[in-house]
Amino acid sequence: MLRTDYQRLQAQSRRTRKKSGLDNYNDDMKFRIVLEYDADVQAFSAVCPELPGCASAGDTEEEAKQNIREAIELYLAPSDVELSRNAKLDEVTVG
């Protein structure tokens, strides 16, 4: 039953985003990233300070930027949520 409520909310959210022209949660969002070259491993690391644990790397600066972009998208992607009987799943818009 809780799974059905979640699926219904997801479908409603998809319809709302489609009507508004937004295809996913990441539209129009910008995040700061920190790029750092590590000469020991000859690669770039990339970290998003606003998202704890969100990090990536790449052989080039451009590859590191592409990889952190994907890491941020995955970090922000909605996931299944187990709810207790008296809990309600809802959404808020930020920005």
Show me where the domains of the chain are located: 25-81
- pTM for the structure as a whole: 0.62
Average pLDDT in the chain: 82
Q: Using one digit for the tens of pLDDT, what is the confidence trace for 59-79?
A: 999 999 999 999 999 998 888
Which pLDDT value is given to residue 17? 55
d(CA 68, CA 88): 32
Record the tokens describing residue 93, joined without a space: 């818009």
Edge-to-edge strands, sheet with 55-58: 34-38, 43-47, 55-58
Q: Give the pLDDT confidence of 2-36 residue by residue, as tens digits.
A: 456 556 666 665 665 555 554 555 467 899 999 99
Q: Specify whether domain 25-81 bears CATH 2.160.10.10.
A: no
For position 13, what pLDDT does the model report? 59
